Amino acid sequence: MPIVTVTNMFPEAALEKLAPHCDLRTNQTESPPTAEDLKKHVSESAVIVTYLSDKIGQDIIDCGESLKLIANYGAGFNNIDVAHAAKKGIWVTNTPGVLHETTADLTWAMILGAARCIVPAERFTRENRFKGWQAKMYLGGDVYGKTLGVIGCGEIGSAVARRASGFNMQVLYHNRNRLPQEKERDLNAIYTPLEELLRQSDFVTVHAPLTKATQHMIGKEQFLMMKPTAYFIHTARGKVVDDEALVEALKAGRIAGAALDVYENEPALSQGMTELENLMLLPHIGSASHETRDKMADLVADNVLDALAGKTPRCLVPSWKKQVTR
């Protein structure tokens, strides 16, 4: 039977779905594989199920003489050299369309948490330092009636914008391509140049994909454009934002606060981040609900079963398709 290797912890229901169709090898621990482990897995497997923490470069892909598919357990796939995989005829898939609502929920938790100082206030209370109500204790910013700027209005950005109606917010959005007028009306969102969005928004949330054009699209210059009372939220891809510039902006009070679920050099944090009270730090949990992670795993299993049956997997990443149509 063909070997399918799963590099990290994976939901049991999806493993049970795969098991009858392959020689299934799993790593049900919290210890990610090393580069040497990945080379060995790839050399032995017809399919490898990978995580964002698995760096699948040319050297690893070249070990896969019988490899048919790299199935990433996540919507992102910047950890994989997709162009090289396509050149070698190896499919690359991800899990689109199943995690945008959950990630949008977390984005709103971060918006509210950053604005209302939830994390430092909770820590203050947990440390038994709360001795009674005070007029100026943990003053934050209102969310209701403010302006929300959405950078990248795909599935996740649109889901975030849709939720803003409940807070009576004006929504500005910036996207590589303008949305159809009907969708703009549905979202009650106004297409806006990036500079104007940064200047007008009380909350800026980033949902852009990582490309050569978007790497460090938010840096020192962009933070200087924002209001000193504004909050910055990031749940997209770490390298879209210059983390050092963000730390500098927060330390200097150029913006009021920020919340991050992703990092430029993930999992490493940039120097100074942990010292900032006005910065919420989360461990990349955008899709971390039981229901969504199970849906993602089920979609991974479907892609694997497609490949094992000799069919084109249903969730080929867009950049893979572009490579083979050139």
Catalytic residues: 237, 266, 284
Contact status, residue 120 vs residue 176, Cβ threshold 8 Å: no
Cα torsion 29, 102, 53, 79: sign: positive
Residues 6+ apart with CB under 8 A from 45: 2, 3, 4, 5, 25, 64, 66, 67
Q: Report which secondary-structure segment, H or E, holds 251.
A: helix 243-251
Cα separation, 3 vs 253, in Å, equals: 54
Respond yes or no on whether the N-terminal peptide bond of residue 120 is cis (omega within 30° of 0): no
Q: Which of 105, 78, 104, 94 is closest to 156 using CA atoms?
A: 104
User: What are the residues whose beta carbons fall under 8 Å from the beta carbon of 36, sequence distance 6 or more?
Assistant: none
Phi-psi region at 94: left, alpha or beta (left = phi > 0; alpha = psi -120 to 50): beta
Cβ contact 88:63 at 8 Å: no
Reported in sequence order, the residue ranges of 152-200 that DSSP labels E, i.e. its strands, are 170-174, 189-191
Beta-bridged to residue 93, according to DSSP, are 71, 316
3-state secondary structure of 149: strand
8 Å CB contact between 226 and 256:
no
Report how far residue 92's alpha carbon sits from residue 71's, in angstroms, rounded to the nearest whole number.
6
- Residue 242 CA to chain centroid, in angstroms? 16
Partners of residue 49 on adjacent β-strands: 6, 71
Q: What is the DSSP letter of 97?
A: T
